[in-house]
Chain A
């Protein structure tokens, strides 16, 4: 329909209705404000009373003057009516609700669906109208509803409220009730003593000031008695899109470099646009549509490879001491897909930001991103790899990490590491890589090979391949076997984690050990701590809070990081419910079964100095 600018300065009105008040009793006045001069308001009631927001009833009692907005009783509400309207109301206090509609032309059909409407709540009082003398000054002066109004900015001035309550004025004609508007000096509001109307005298500008706080003061005189009541009178200024976007410090250009981080979703650069208008974050999508950011390009590659993400939040401006809300829009240039390591180019990418609801020539700004896509090389550091492995190392012992240049900086580059077969039969080690890992982990795969005297120095070729470009590189890996074979202890468990004491831990080996012996980690011993005491194949890797790809190969290697079973005793579980993040005292585990964390009461060493001398 045709947009018209008449609107209600408040969303809800409230008044009391008593039993057997006579027809013609005025109840309340409703005001409107205009969009343009010359508009005339027509009021109209919806012919349904809504009771307790669910049940409705035909309205036989209330009417509104089409021109003045005065709501009045057209028919007395008797006890029978009251009882009927109270049915379905749960609370002792009955409220009915009706909608008042607004139009700039006389109502033709009594339609009930105009968008511009306000809600009137009528409290049905289970009593006849009270004597004026029984009413408090507060009740004589104001209704229970806050005096809070909203006025649109940039609209013509007009009267938006009447302080006098028509029902009280009608009921208590021999009482003198007068009003004043305090703190109004210098503010664009005026109180008219004759009509008790409050009007706004100027077009308001929300970007100047968005909230006015005044005080309505009421004086009731009854003979020589005088009573006064003061209540807050608040005016909020509603915003419309009347400010263009602007650039803070004039910055409209940013550099966007793509190098090691080439993954889809990477934010390359951000530029900021300010606007003095507010932008509601609810509903979010409609605000995004009102403030657009579009990449200006004909190149399909560019529109496929990049996207612009728009986020915004509320900030404050202080135009003249008072704070008003405004908006910061951020436009982020984002990779829309992962970019190949071979890609190499530079160009400028322009993004047009458009404040679509602002009606003026400066409604858009152009942002520029200087994009450089640099290629990255897939190569190993110059040196060849050399690792030494103790002959007593056991299966799943972690020997070292293989990593191409800058591998830890890479994102969105998928490198796989592979060992090419050596020329001997000494297959001692293998390489493994976690799903998201940027490096390969070298570990002992067959410990029996380490025992064979003919295997001394094994040469491998490692190949690293980029999955997307199939680019690959190779380097040499030398594994030197050292140390002499120790005699294996009898009765040792295959997992270090089983050992509960310092001594038994270091006497035995277990899966994952580097030198044939487990290592003891002595914790701090204070409460439940991440630094608990435990026996591990290698303090460097276990427990470190991460169940890595090699540890997850066998539950006996490092249950402290990988267990998903029960943990008995004081403890905290690790990420994803795996492992023991923190424990009380000593934590030990039986792989595939339970773990235990407990304080050890038997003090080590079992044998003190006196004991040793005796032996």
Chain B
């Protein structure tokens, strides 16, 4: 039995807190007019062409009624039970509302309210075992050690490493699909104080930076024979509800902003790092492009070659990874153990 849903309330920041879509769907199902409209809308969207859908009076009416329902504002939580189902419900409404071809899509996930400092507090527990917190220590190696001392982290890390390094045949050197799945499990089920330390450790020499680059076993999970066009990769990602949601979440939380000190929306580093990690294990998997210690360059495995008249749009898309001050500041702040100071 489902617990009675709590009404949408206010959080301390004065923003409305939405219900999750699975629960909103239950609420809608309990109400005959809502559930019949929702069914109609899903049939309308099955054809996938928004213009024909909007031309249909019945579809339009369904959409208008649903704007008043809890389904309208619903969101999902990362790693929640039935995450995929929740996202399916979210997009079944939102594909009808947006063009489905917008540059930035709003994130279907709830906003992240915790801060990096929460992780540092936990991270300091591990720092006790570091032989010396001197400048020579390899933070990425320390992160691996810390992971190996935790049963859950160790199990899931060796799980994805062995899956991603297993050779299938002479022509297929690993199963990318299985490797991605194992990586998603690692980043979904291991607490971020372990995963972020592996992913965003700060480095002073090349061996450390190479270890950081190798964290996700890029030869299997990242690199490919050919580099697709980034817009092509984006459209592949958008056909998958999970990938689409994670990308929208990345755009919402890591989009460089002029209005904040850190260049991050709401000065929230934690939210940006979380949505970056959320992209790993999907078509849009990002990684460090090299083992440079001085400059951090992140990119998905794509290029803007062959963009034709869409080159500007393609480069804008790619720059959100390669030249994003918010993402770069967030990674560096994590590495240095600094967060934005917030007045309570």
Contacts and interface: CB of A to CB of B under 8 A. Distances in A.
A87 interface: yes
B16 A314 contact: no
B111 interface: yes
B239 interface: no
Interface in A24-62: 52-56
A90 interface: yes
B205 interface: no
Given A88-B73, A282-B229, A575 B306 contact: no
Interface string A361-402: 000000000000000000000000000000000000000000
Given A282-B232, A282-B235, A576-B168, A87 B105 contact: no
Given A54-B106, A313-B305, A284 B97 contact: no
Interface in A56-112: 56, 87-93
Contacts of A325: 311
Interface stretch (B37-45, B116-124, B258-266): B258-266
A280 interface: yes
B309 to A, nearest CB: 5
A239 B310 CA distance: 10
A459 interface: no
A285 to B, nearest CB: 11
Interface residues of A, number: 36
Contacts of A312: 306
Contacts of B312: 148, 150, 236
A313 B170 CA distance: 28
Interface string A296-316: 000000000000000011100
Contact of B167 (A144, A239, A574): A574
B178 interface: no
A55 B72 CA distance: 8
A577 B166 contact: yes
B169 interface: yes
Contacts of A144: 258
B154 interface: no
B206 interface: no
A577 B166 CA distance: 7
B308 A239 contact: yes
A575 B106 CA distance: 44
Nearest to B111: A90
A577 B173 CA distance: 11
A582 B259 CA distance: 56
Contact of A52 (B13, B106, B167, B311): B106
Interface in B254-272: 258-259, 265-266
Interface residues of B, number: 39
A577 B167 contact: yes
Given A92-B266, A313-B305, A284 B169 contact: no
Nearest to B93: A54
A279 interface: yes
A123 to B, nearest CB: 9
Contacts of B16: 87-88
A144 B255 CA distance: 14
A575 B169 contact: yes
Nearest to A152: B309
Interface string B73-115: 1000000000000000000001001100010111000010000
B309 A113 contact: no
Contacts of A314: 305-306
A451 interface: no
Contacts of A93: 259
Nearest to A238: B309
A353 to B, nearest CB: 19
Contacts of B13: 92
Given A282-B306, A576-B169, A577-B167, A53 B105 contact: yes
Contacts of A534: none
A282 B15 contact: no
A11 B166 CA distance: 46
Contacts, number: 90
Residue of B105, B235, B259, B308 most packed against chain A (CB within 10 A): B308
Interface in B299-326: 305-313
Contacts of A113: 51, 54
B308 A278 contact: yes
Nearest to B259: A93
Contacts of B36: none
A576 B231 CA distance: 34
A573 interface: yes
A92 B11 CA distance: 13
Contact of A55 (B15, B67, B229, B311): B67
Contacts of B310: 280, 282
A576 B54 CA distance: 51
Contacts of B106: 52-54, 90
B169 A313 contact: no
A502 to B, nearest CB: 30
A282 B307 contact: yes
B308 A279 contact: yes
A88 B68 CA distance: 12
A576 B311 CA distance: 41
A3 B245 CA distance: 36
A281 interface: yes
A131 B75 CA distance: 39
Nearest to A150: B312
A126 to B, nearest CB: 11
A236 B231 contact: no
A586 B266 CA distance: 59
Contacts of A283: 232, 235
A498 to B, nearest CB: 26
B15 A90 contact: yes
A315 B94 CA distance: 39
Interface string B175-217: 0000000000000000000000000000000000000000000
Nearest to A279: B308
A113 B55 CA distance: 10
Nearest to B63: A56
Interface string B209-248: 0000000000000000000010110010000000000000
A87 B73 CA distance: 10
Top 10 closest A-B pairs, CB basis? A280-B308, A281-B306, A282-B232, A278-B308, A282-B229, A314-B306, A53-B106, A282-B231, A314-B305, A238-B309
30 contacts: A53-B97, A53-B98, A53-B104, A53-B106, A54-B72, A54-B106, A55-B72, A56-B97, A87-B16, A90-B252, A91-B265, A92-B266, A93-B259, A238-B309, A278-B308, A278-B309, A279-B308, A280-B229, A281-B306, A281-B308, A282-B232, A282-B235, A283-B235, A313-B305, A314-B306, A573-B167, A574-B167, A575-B167, A575-B169, A577-B166
Given A238-B309, A239-B308, A239-B309, 14 more contacts: A54-B72, A54-B94, A55-B67, A55-B73, A150-B309, A278-B307, A280-B229, A280-B308, A282-B310, A313-B305, A314-B305, A573-B166, A575-B169, A575-B170
